Chain A
Amino acid sequence: MPQLAHLWLALPDYGRSTVWILVITVVLIISVALLTLWERKVIGWMQLRRGPNRVRIFGFLPGVGQPFADVLKLLLKEVVIPANANKILFRVAPLIALIPAFAAWAVIPLSPEVVVSKADAGLLYLLSLTSMGVYGVIVAGWAANSKYAFLGAMRSAAQMVAYEIAMGFALVGVLMATGSMNLGTIVQTQAGGIGSWNWFWLAPLLVVYFISGVAETNRAPFDVAEGESEIVAGFHVEYSGIAFALFFLAEYANMILISALTSVFFFGGWQGPFQGYPVLGATFLGQPSFFWFGLKIFFFLFLFLWFRATFPRYRYDQIMRLGWKALIPVTLVWIGVEMLLAVSRIGPWARPWYH
């Protein structure tokens, strides 16, 4: 074991980041598989069903084998390419959807020590990558040469562009409170337990950010891009087999990403909730670690599933109205309020280094 640690430290910087990139990618893919199972289980319980409980792994854990069996099934199926589809773009579209969802993890601080890139423009990098995800949807919808796919693509393009603005404005508020675009610094400035996290002073922005996040990932109740009761399955109606699975993978990876970002921006990332509190702060509960980050991600993922199980789908024009006429004004007003708070040095702006 000490030899292994020595070998790890002897690796050059790029070697260590390569290892981390591989680890993050593999863990993310497995988490997506387990998340699909967890989703079906949770929705099943909420609807008084059992959810998947047949496929076992080596005879244990009934149901846990389900996502892996699904992946195998999709891998073995034929990828049907429609006769009049645009062959190249039809094949490329799932990749365009998938790449940003994974590349965004480069700047997310996973624990006090582990982050692949400490880029100073990390927040802008995230915004630009999440805005590139829409290309996968548009290109898929157009290349399939099917009217339902095209309708779905047009809907989701308009929706994602609209909610990106609200999302960006919510992040402006985070910038004002933490004074940095480096995600590591954003987490560090929220040190000091649950009361010092951004969620209290930026509560309206937190709500706006999470709603826009749900809309950006095209999840229920904003899933008009798929809208199976209206336009069959939307932009990926012509996709089958593993090409469909890649879209699925991108959607769930984006859900995990949005959950991680919400916890980084508003809930202190890897910071422990009882840090600095008497008695509890001295124990494991006060220590910053990946455990807290994982727990927060898990909580927000549960919210995604809960929304899907309970909310009916929004009508398309109401989605647009919510994005442009409700969420954006809320962020603008709260940025003004933050300005006043910063001038009178209240909350996170009372910290001495800020002025």
Chain B
Amino acid sequence: MLIQVLFHLFAAILVLAALGVITARNPVYSALALVMCFVTSAAIWLLIEAEFLAVVLVLVYVGAVMVLFLFVVMMLDINLTELRRGFTRFAWLGWLTALAVIVEIAGVVWARSGLGLDAHRGVAPVPAGYSNTLALGSVLYTRYAYPFELAAVLLLVAIVAAISLTMRRRTGYKQQDISRQVAVRREDRVRLVKMDAEKRP
């Protein structure tokens, strides 16, 4: 009962926040609404006892990705009228995508009930002492160890590629070379001059 109430509460917040992402005029509001979306969906995952996924969603998306998003959105000077120029021209594409997504969701729900799966039943309750984290870990590091490590290597390649694509060496800009700063000795900067305080009479 309590879980049902919580689910509907979080689901309502999630839907409202998702609407906020696409309707907010200020891009910063949009980004914050997206953060809200992630947090509430993590809460819903907690309700079906997928604690590991919930925590990782918050850790990766809220803690890292969205911080950078917000960082960029706040720095950009976004001109809304310019953005809105193509809005009506591509509206049909947007509607088409929305329609396709709705059809797909309906199809999944229909297929589940067609296969004898009750779409309203929810997930089976897990036995006491079941640990989502432990179960995932024991599968990931035994049965799927190689696919898991391959995925990790792929991500590493993606990081290296992203950095090497975006790193440009501009010529002629000034930069502090820390090792040179550290290596500086007093003799390089200061010259002691012996002189009299007053002119000799």
Contact = CB atoms under 8 A, between A and B. Distances in A.
Interface of A: 89, 119-121, 124-125, 127-128, 131-132, 134-135, 138-139, 142, 150, 153-154, 157-158, 160-161, 164, 181, 317-318, 321
Contacts, number: 66
A120 B58 contact: no
A224 to B, nearest CB: 16
B6 interface: no
A336 to B, nearest CB: 15
B32 A161 contact: no
A89 B36 CA distance: 14
B51 A132 contact: no
Interface in B35-89: 35, 51-52, 55-56, 58-59, 62-64, 67-68, 70-71, 74-75
What DSSP secondary structure best describes chain B's contact surface?
Answer: helix
A137 B63 CA distance: 13
Contacts of A181: 133
B67 A157 contact: yes
A120 B63 contact: no
A142 B28 contact: yes
21 contacts: A120-B51, A120-B131, A121-B132, A124-B133, A127-B63, A128-B58, A128-B62, A131-B62, A131-B67, A134-B63, A134-B67, A135-B35, A142-B74, A150-B74, A154-B71, A154-B75, A157-B67, A160-B67, A181-B133, A317-B176, A321-B178
Interface in B118-134: 131-134
A142 B72 CA distance: 12
A138 B67 contact: yes
Contact of B67 (A127, A161, A318): A161
Nearest to B75: A154
Contact of B70 (A119, A127, A138, A317): A138
B63 A128 contact: yes
B67 A120 contact: no
Given A142-B74, A164-B63, A128 B68 contact: no
